[in-house]
Structure 1
Amino acid sequence: MSISVSLSDLTFAWPDGAPVFEGLDAVLGPAHLGLVGSNGVGKSTLLRLIAGELRPARGSITVGGTLGYLRQDLGLSAGQRVDSVLGIDAVRHALHRIESGEGSESDFELVGNRWDVEEAAVALLGRLGLDYLAGDVAQLDRRLETLSGGETVLLGLVAELLREPDVLLLDEPTNNLDLHARQRLYEVVGQFPGTVLIVSHDRELLNRMGVIAELRRGEIRSFGGNFDAYEEIIEAEQESARAAIRDARGDVRKQSRELVEARIKLDRRQRYGQKMFEQKREPKIVMGERKRQAQVSAGKLRNNHIAKVEQARETLDRAQDQLRDDREIRVDLPGTRLYPGQDVIELEQVRLANGPVVTLRVNGPERIALTGRNGAGKTTLLRRIAAEPPKVPWRMLPQRLDVFDEQRSVFENVSAATPHATAERVRAQLARFLFRGTDADVAAGALSGGERLRAALAMLLLADPAPRLLLLDEPTNNLDLPSLAHLTEALTGFEGALIVVSHDRRFLEEIGVTRWLELGQEGLSEDP
């Protein structure tokens, strides 16, 4: 594997002037790389620049070989056919004309050596877990409206792989994928022979990478090894930074104390010299020279101590600059508490729109993970639960986090959900979710992904009445790792019942799931 991506003096800003990159230099690959960094730092923007969707203001991007790019938002329409998404529809039509004896010279030119394009496509669909699409080439005529979101993502990946690229860019490829599909994707990506650059919050996928590239403060730093190794290095650096801060603060205090002591000593000398001058115990010319020398010496001593204080403060600033922002949200929600045995949900033989008949009873503060294959109807079940409605106050967090009035500020959105709370109370609670001061006055439509999550959590958890049941639909999608930690922390402090649709098993374990349910065609089954 010798293919890589080179960035030279890469500079890019949005039309409103907001800078993203300024003189970025980096070489990515040849390797399987995981690109990590906080939401809003520019990871997806960098992929779009490499793919040519955006043009840099200055600098160059060199890709060694052909490029494949799986976007986070595929931008596909429900009416598109599978073969159209795969980019093989024109070749298929040419093949069928040739097979019927009506082929033209242009048809033969279009097919070239791709006589087995249909078989190759369905085989690749099967490798990625789309087994029902792989059963017959006629399935290539199906329309996207019959596929789930996760299946559409896999279809997009197949389309890129069919082009046999040398460099593969993947932006959050495991979003909406069930556990089975994720495992298939891990295997296919692992077998890819070229350079892979993946933006993802999926820790298992990142742990299969050979290099982690961190995008921070407009620069890329590469770490050999997987994500666990990267975290160990960062934590060791942070511990070193914390120790350096402690030492630097001690030195600032010491140098400041010595400066004060020097000033006291100089003041004493000045008073003594003035007294001697007034008493005229020595010739005037001698006392004048002595006074001049004392002033020069005092100035040097004072400037020396001032320089040491400034140097100590600069050292402290550098040490603090190395410490990452690890602010934590604080959640105190006594009003959400449920007691064992308390009735929460009771669904009896309810038929979902896609077929399964479901019976579900939830009692007390259960934490339920709802799993199942893509298209099984998990989101449909959450909506049906919300429609009954549950027997306790509840709130739902949809996949798209579309719970806001986008034109109103974070403060205004949360205030609308808590009409009986004072403005001071709302702002105090928002500060616990890291919206301090003017941060709470930003319009919801201008928030980054991680900020939207925190704002949505604040809106749900601070609602009046306090929710005692949360329905969460793929809450970890599109989150950076700090935001994922924030979500985990918030849910750990929640004392009500949870039903969470997620394929991130580590996340589900960390929030303390007590019951695992799998939704299939036969309904719900316990997953031990």
Structure 2
Amino acid sequence: MPASISLTGLCWSTPDDTPLFTDLTLAFGPERTGIVGRNGSGKSTLLRLISGEVSPVSGQVRVTGVLAAMRQDAMAQAGEALADLFGVRPALDLLGRAGAGLARTDELMVADWTLPARIETALLRCGLSLPPETPLAALSGGQRSRAALAAAIFAEPDILLLDEPTNNLDRAGRKAVIDLLRGWRGGAIVASHDRELLEEMDAIVELTSLGVTRYGGNYSAFRERKDVEREAAARDLAEAEEARREADRRARQASERKARKDSAGHKARARGDQPRIAMNTARNRAEASGGAGKRLREARRAGAEETLAAAREKVEVLQPLRMDIAPIGLAPGKTVLRLEGLTGGYTGDQPIIRDLSLTMTGPERVVLTGPNGSGKTTLLRLITGRCEVQSGRVDVAVTFALLDQHAGLLDPDLTLRDNFLRLSPLAGLHDAHAALARFGFRAADALRLAGRLSGGERLRAGLACVLQAVPQPQLLILDEPTNHLDLDGIAALEAAMAAYDGAVLAVSHDTAFLRSLAPTRFISLERHANVDDSTL
């Protein structure tokens, strides 16, 4: 029987009892399916429900075949080595004892002598060549992501569950993941915002507040269908608004006619032109007819209002997110940033960054490049004072803001509004609510705790606090800004960056985002970084 997953009548709520899935019914077969949706729509939760990591409130999850999930928390396990990530430490220990002549006969009978070769093959498929005893703590974020993927495919599953598998990966790492999925013969369910990766999918499943919709084809086919749906939703809204206006017009006309008839009836009574009994009969008949007409008009008006509300909701769900920012007015000749012989990062005799000089002038857009481990994030920490400079000089001559991929500038114990006010002490309550609303956090959403947001929501809130800061920064320092952002968020960020007239210093491996950013130059850190090429 081919591998499959079926979800029937699935219901699940967040810890604060907010419904996330209600009566969800969905099926997956032996194909590559991308899961997309706005931040907070439940992509990661859906994978956790499928894998059995969490249980639904009601409904059923049926799985045929073997599942394997890529562990996103591999970097958080203290004291673990690659062998632990693969779940093979006891088996490798047995091989070690066997090689030293210390294993019992019964142990030798169950020893898996192919294990080292299979581990090596899985790692190589993901672009790594490391011994199983390598500590996870010694790996870069990108290496840990590759190792987690290698551990998932090592089990030779029928269906892979991957949650943002290209986050933290450099260009070579992203290519390794894409090549792996391109040649994958089993099923795969991939929650991702990586547009290049989503182009490799056979189907796209979108999660929205309106429900779950499956689209055949890759990301480009999905976007074409979404554009058609958005246009149709706009037409439906226009028609619903016109129907509501027509219902209002007819109700107004009926009310005016009744007022004229009532006025004529009052005048006739005053003149006494007709017998009283005839006038009373006519009045009762008119009232009955008028009451029925009024109920019909009210029903039509209520129907028009309901249709209009549904059309508005659909348009709001389909409407792209906007991130509006005001002009900065940075002068073209203004020195923004100057680095002279900068050396630093970690301590001791092996600094990560060595003897780097750089000058940014005016609204330049500079992108730092280099493989995982070359010191891109370290350099940003040196520039912003979050890491000690060993020698050289750093001069940031304008107001700046740093946004990392985890939105570390937000205090998790504060609301979004209070975070905004903490970061922009010159702003008022109205400024905070208006800024957050522009980034999709309207009304009560501004009072949500930052620590309870999804990764993408947190990054979007961080962007609101940075791009709407009072005063606004003249230099934006972005460290993998599209990591964790949903597809609408990335599109909105690209539009905002196109309109931004300040300087930008960015680190990103997102090819599509970099193309949209239109950098004025690229700075490679490989010759300025202390990098062990054997570990990249």
- The TM-score, its normalising length taken from structure 1, stands at 0.90
Cα deviation per residue 1:17-39 (whole Å; 9 max; x = unaligned)? 23222222111223100011111
Matched, 1:504 2:510: yes
Greater shift, 393-402 or 453-462, is seen at 453-462
Q: C-alpha displacement at 1:116, in angstroms?
A: 1.9
Contact (CA 8 Å) 1:94, 1:110: kept in 2 or not? Answer: no
Cα deviation per residue 1:111-166 (whole Å; 9 max; x = unaligned)? 2xx42221222122222222x42xxxxx2222222210010011011111111111
Greater shift, 13-22 or 373-382, is seen at 13-22
Letter in 2 for 1:454: R
Contact (CA 8 Å) 1:355, 1:521: kept in 2 or not? Answer: no
Residue in 2 that maps onto 1:213: 205
Letter in 2 for 1:291: R
- Tell me the secondary structure at the aligned position of residue 302 of structure 2: helix
Greater shift, 472-481 or 357-366, is seen at 357-366
- Identify the match of residue 421 of structure 2 among 415, 419, 427: 415
**Residues 169-208 of structure 1 aligned to structure 2 (within 5 Å):** 169-208=161-200
Residue in 1 that maps onto 2:100: 100
Q: C-alpha displacement at 1:109, in angstroms?
A: 4.5
- Tell me the secondary structure at the aligned position of residue 53 of structure 1: coil
Residue in 2 that maps onto 1:242: 234
Residue in 2 that maps onto 1:404: 410
Cα deviation per residue 1:91-121 (whole Å; 9 max; x = unaligned)? 222223333333324423542xx42221222
Contact (CA 8 Å) 1:372, 1:519: kept in 2 or not? Answer: yes
Matched, 1:30 2:30: yes
Matched, 1:339 2:345: no
- Tell me the secondary structure at the aligned position of residue 326 of structure 2: coil
Greater shift, 255-264 or 511-520, is seen at 511-520
Residue in 1 that maps onto 2:524: 518
Matched, 1:371 2:364: no
- Tell me the secondary structure at the aligned position of residue 292 of structure 2: helix
Residue in 1 that maps onto 2:289: 297
Cα deviation per residue 1:253-294 (whole Å; 9 max; x = unaligned)? 122112111121122222223333333333333333333222
**Residues 115-264 of structure 1 aligned to structure 2 (within 5 Å):** 115-130=113-128, 132-133=129-130, 139-217=131-209, 219-264=211-256
- Tell me the secondary structure at the aligned position of residue 101 of structure 2: coil
Greater shift, 414-423 or 82-91, is seen at 414-423
Greater shift, 462-471 or 260-269, is seen at 462-471
Contact (CA 8 Å) 2:72, 2:148: kept in 1 or not? Answer: no
- Tell me the secondary structure at the aligned position of residue 90 of structure 1: helix
**Residues 6-155 of structure 1 aligned to structure 2 (within 5 Å):** 6-74=6-74, 76-111=76-111, 114-130=112-128, 132-133=129-130, 139-155=131-147
Cα deviation per residue 1:363-388 (whole Å; 9 max; x = unaligned)? 22211122221111111121222232
Q: C-alpha displacement at 1:248, in angstroms?
A: 1.6
Structure 1 pair 362/436, CA: closer, same or farther in 2 (3 Å)? same
- Identify the match of residue 495 of structure 2 among 462, 465, 489: 489
Letter in 1 for 2:243: D
Cα deviation per residue 1:3-52 (whole Å; 9 max; x = unaligned)? 11101122222444232222221112231000111111111111111111
Cα deviation per residue 1:482-521 (whole Å; 9 max; x = unaligned)? 2222322333333222111111010111122221233225
* Structure 2 unaligned blocks of 5 or more: 346-350, 386-393, 531-536
Structure 1 pair 304/157, CA: closer, same or farther in 2 (3 Å)? same
Instruction: Indicate the RMSD between aligned Cα atoms, in angstroms.
Output: 2.4
- Identify the match of residue 350 of structure 1 among 340, 343, 346: 343
Structure 1 pair 322/439, CA: closer, same or farther in 2 (3 Å)? closer
Q: C-alpha displacement at 1:357, in angstroms?
A: 4.4
Letter in 2 for 1:362: M
Structure 1 pair 420/102, CA: closer, same or farther in 2 (3 Å)? closer
Greater shift, 437-446 or 40-49, is seen at 437-446
Q: C-alpha displacement at 1:236, in angstroms?
A: 0.6
- Tell me the secondary structure at the aligned position of residue 156 of structure 2: coil
Letter in 2 for 1:263: S
| Paired residue total | 515
- Tell me the secondary structure at the aligned position of residue 281 of structure 1: coil
Contact (CA 8 Å) 2:2, 2:65: kept in 1 or not? Answer: no
Greater shift, 198-207 or 318-327, is seen at 318-327
Residue in 2 that maps onto 1:330: 324
Counterparts of 2:211 and 2:463, CA distance in 1: 31
Contact (CA 8 Å) 1:376, 1:521: kept in 2 or not? Answer: no
Structure 1 pair 428/87, CA: closer, same or farther in 2 (3 Å)? closer
Counterparts of 1:446 and 1:5, CA distance in 2: 30
Greater shift, 269-278 or 150-159, is seen at 269-278
Letter in 2 for 1:503: H
* Structure 1 unaligned blocks of 5 or more: 134-138
Counterparts of 1:105 and 1:324, CA distance in 2: 68
Greater shift, 222-231 or 1-10, is seen at 1-10
Counterparts of 2:485 and 2:68, CA distance in 1: 23
Contact (CA 8 Å) 1:343, 1:362: kept in 2 or not? Answer: yes
Q: C-alpha displacement at 1:355, in angstroms?
A: 6.2
Residue in 2 that maps onto 1:136: none
Counterparts of 2:210 and 2:471, CA distance in 1: 43
Greater shift, 165-174 or 14-23, is seen at 14-23
Structure 1 pair 518/486, CA: closer, same or farther in 2 (3 Å)? same
Counterparts of 1:223 and 1:170, CA distance in 2: 19
Q: C-alpha displacement at 1:341, in angstroms?
A: 5.9
- Tell me the secondary structure at the aligned position of residue 192 of structure 1: coil
Residue in 2 that maps onto 1:286: 278
Q: C-alpha displacement at 1:198, in angstroms?
A: 0.5
- Tell me the secondary structure at the aligned position of residue 150 of structure 1: helix
Q: C-alpha displacement at 1:190, in angstroms?
A: 1.8
Q: C-alpha displacement at 1:465, in angstroms?
A: 5.1
- Tell me the secondary structure at the aligned position of residue 330 of structure 1: coil
- Tell me the secondary structure at the aligned position of residue 408 of structure 2: coil
Cα deviation per residue 1:391-446 (whole Å; 9 max; x = unaligned)? 32222112321112322232322223333344444444444344444433333223
Residue in 2 that maps onto 1:476: 482
Residue in 1 that maps onto 2:391: none
Counterparts of 1:235 and 1:7, CA distance in 2: 28
Residue in 2 that maps onto 1:316: 308
